[in-house]
Structure 1
Amino acid sequence: MTHDAALSYAHPPALSQADEEALTDLYIRGTPANTLRAYERDLIYVTAWKRAVYDQDLTWPESDVVALRFVLDHARDLGDANQQDPARAAAEGLIRQGLRKTLACPAPATLDRRIASWRAFHRMRNLDSPFDAPILRQARAKARRAAARAPAPKSEHPITREVLNAMLATCGYSLRDLRDSALLMLGWASGGRRRSEITGLRREDVSLKDFESEGLVWITILETKTTAKGKTPRLVLKGRAARSLVHWINMAEIIDGPLFRPISKSDNPLDRALSPDAVYQIVKRRLQLAGYDEGFASPHGLRSGFLTQAALDGAPLQAAMRLSLHRSMAQAQKYYDDVDVADNPATDLLG
């Protein structure tokens, strides 16, 4: 390899403005919507952090010094820092902007995600990322180990069948009630769907061809967090979950477009799709109406509750995973382990 070729290999050629825009557009079209939202939130945070620390906008590529400072500032508890500490002052500014909750050391997963987003924006521009430098890799590894903690559950409690039934009992006969009932049952009974998967469903993704004869409703999800676009297997609803969904479709007269929609004050469905945050609000409201604290569970409780109930009912793990679409058996097994350990006879040895 010639010297010039070696330099070219070490430093990717700069893209033209047109190529940069085309590459960015390709990333946007080829990246799941929820990932794009995470990218956007992280870019806002990183931009605000650099302005607070350096009073400068982001540069592309970013310098190793700035990247290292970002890791170091997010690898310690700033509540213990001196009031004049620049990192603490920056963090307090981010708290005032609503971009950070506390001065506590962020979870390693949060730091990793923000760095991953920052790196992704470098890739979009065909630029080397400063986080690939050996000193940054080592600093990240040390930060991850120093801040290691038990992962917090995404939902405080699983929404098991008992909890779900209590939530469904709060649903009456208005269109809003019918929608909430169908949404909760689909989200739970189809394997514990994520919010973005629920709100991304369209009427065209629901097949009723076997409903009259067999009571089955087939659902096609374009993509999930663990499956590629167009590679997600069809899911099935049966029993009251299938009947609830069909009733919602018929009563709301949904012929095409978004499956789950906002309801107007006059109890009419709107044309647009529900947002993922609306699913959070529905779960929160139904829990409160059922007598639970609003923080009892989050929408992820539909997912954890499905797997927990499958374990309680003795359903094989592989059967539950065919609906939940977990890619990792070890991850899905955790829900079964939490149930099995309570029935382990060794826990009764003391009497």
Structure 2
Amino acid sequence: MSELDRYLQAATRDNTRRSYRAAIEHFEGSWGGFLPATADSIARYLVAYAGELSINTLKLRLSALAQWHNSQGFADPTKAPVVRKVFKGIRALHPAQEKQAEPLQLQHLEQAVAWLEQEAQTAQSADNQPVLLRAKRDTALILLGFWRGFRSDELCRLQIEHVQASAGAGITLYLPRSKSDRDNLGKTYQTPALQRLCPVQAYIDWISAAALVRGPVFRGIDRWGHLSEEGLHANSVIPLLRQALERAGIPAEHYTSHSLRRGFATWAHQSGWDLKSLMSYVGWKDMKSAMRYVDANPFPVMPRIVEKPVIS
């Protein structure tokens, strides 16, 4: 790969590249389309999957097809009037019903963490290292994900070298890139230590128990207690969270990794945070994005267990 190709490839995120590749394969393989495509064929492709695929998925397919034609030097057929008109008609006849993760309620967070702490104590007494490590890891991941409002991919890309934690004080986390950091400038996040449900102490306990000094913060653990050298994949956060909640006796089928982010946003909203402070803390750039995460039917008033974290 040439230096030029290497930089061009770095300009597109891995997840986007995989999604676009799958979209092109679907157009050619599943539907039987030909590339370069005509505007008419793309319009017929949209019609074929109008009632089957969501609006967002169809939009992603159009973006992938547009990117392929542009990168290959062909005119972009997705901009043709017939394609735009068909897509507009699909939106009118198949309006998107946005699915949102159930926000993790504070009482469920407390219940899950209490269960995980009990698991860790029992495992330590029984010298069961695999269970001890999983309990410590899951506690740290859930508490950091909640109080920092991180996405699953952000949690999975945390590196020990980029984290500074001080017991009883706070934690500073640096992410070289994230979904909201389109220019890859990097961003530093801070969260204070809490009297209970403390993400700082949970992080320190996990790193100490796992004897980690560098590399990914959150890793896979096999049944013998061996840690993976690689970080967890973002897709593994949902089953990890659900399993932890279910072990604590909490129905978890409606929870996803975004439940941590939405749970924090709803808690902050109920605790009196103004929208501007919430947007700055979590990293939302526009009000529409923030309002999607703030529960329209907020929880009963929750006890304040933390002062407003320092906004980075």
Identify if the C-alpha distance between structure 1 residues 262 and 331 changes in structure 2 by more than 3 Å, giving closer, same or farther. same
Contact 1:186 1:241 in 2 (8 A): yes
The match for 1:224 among 178, 186, 198 is: 178
Deviation digits for residues 42-62 of structure 1 (CA, Å, limit 9, x no counterpart): 2332233233xx6xxx42x22
CA contact (8 A) 2:106 2:263 kept: yes
User: Does residue 1:46 correspond to 2:27, yes or no?
Assistant: yes
SS of the equivalent of 1:271 reads strand
Q: Matched residue of 2:115: which SS?
A: coil
SS of the residue corresponding to residue 190 of structure 2 reads strand
Measure how far apart 1:341 and its partner are.
Answer: 11
Q: Is the 8 A contact 1:311 1:339 kept in 2?
A: no
- Matched to 2:39, the amino acid is D
Q: Note the C-alpha offset of 1:316.
A: 2.1
- Given that 2:40 and 2:82 are in contact with CA atoms closer than 8 Å, whether structure 1 keeps it comes out as no
User: Aligned partners of 2:237 and 2:300: how far apart in 1?
Assistant: 32
Please state if 1:258 is matched with 2:239.
no
Q: Identity, % of aligned pairs?
A: 22
Question: 1:238 Cα deviation (Å)?
Answer: 2.4
Change (3 A) 1:319 1:272: same
Matched position secondary structure for 1:220: strand
In structure 2, distance between residues paired with 1:328 and 1:217: 26
| CA deviations over 1:288-315 (Å, ceiling 9, x no partner) | 1122333121111111111011112112
Q: What is the aligned residue count?
A: 284
Closer, same or farther: CA 336–72 of 1 in aligned 2, 3 Å: closer
Rounded Cα–Cα distance in structure 2 between residues aligned with 1:340 and 1:170: 25
1:256 CA drift (Å): 1.3
Distance in 2 (alpha carbons) for counterparts of 1:277 and 1:333: 25
CA contact 1:27–1:124 (8 Å) conserved in 2: no
Deviation at 1:236, TM superposition (A): 1.2
CA–CA separation in structure 1 for the residues paired with 2:12 and 2:112: 34
When residues 229 and 257 of structure 1 are mapped into structure 2, their CA distance, relative to the original with a 3 A threshold, is farther
Distance 1:130 1:269, change over 3 A: same
- Structure 1 residues 194 and 44 mapped into 2: Cα distance closer, same or farther (>3 Å)? farther
37-46 or 199-208: bigger deviation? 37-46
Within a 5 Å distance, the mapping from 1:269-348 to structure 2 comes to 269-336=227-294, 338-339=296-297
RMSD across aligned positions (CA)? 2.5
Distance 2:252 2:295 in 1: 27
1:257 alignment partner AA: G
Which structure 2 segments of 5+ residues have no match? 121-131, 302-312
Task: Find out whether 1:207 has 2:161 as its counterpart.
Answer: no
- CA deviation after TM superposition for structure 1 residue 336, in Å: 4.2
- Kept after mapping to 2: 8 A contact 1:311/1:335: no
How far did residue 285 of structure 1 move? Answer: 0.5
In the aligned structure 2, how far is the partner of 1:342 from the partner of 1:68?
48
Match of 1:238?
Answer: 192
Report the Cα distance in structure 1 between the residues aligned to 2:61 and 2:85, rounded to whole angstroms. Answer: 17
Conserved 8 A contact 1:202-1:257: yes
| Structure 2 counterparts to residues 1-351 of structure 1, below 5 A | 23=5, 25-51=6-32, 58-59=34-35, 61-75=36-50, 77=51, 105-153=52-100, 155=101, 157-171=102-116, 172-173=119-120, 174-190=132-148, 192-208=149-165, 211=166, 215-239=169-193, 240-336=198-294, 338-339=296-297
Q: Structure 1 residue 72: deviation in Å?
A: 1.4
Q: Is the 8 A contact 1:182 1:245 kept in 2?
A: yes
TM-score (norm: length of structure 1): 0.74
- Structure number, greater radius of gyration: 1
Q: Structure 1 residues 306-315 or 160-169, which shifts more? A: 160-169
Give the aligned residue type for 1:152: K
Report the alpha carbon displacement of residue 106 of structure 1 after superposing the two structures with TM. 2.2
Task: Map Cα deviations across residues 93-118 of structure 1 (whole Å, 9 max, x no partner).
Answer: xxxxxxxxxxxx32211211111122
Alpha carbons 2:177, 2:187 under 8 Å: kept: no
After superposition, the C-alpha distances for 1:216-240 in whole angstroms (9 at most, x for unaligned) are 1100112222223443431113221
Distance (Å, rounded) in 2 between the aligned partners of 1:334 and 1:112: 20
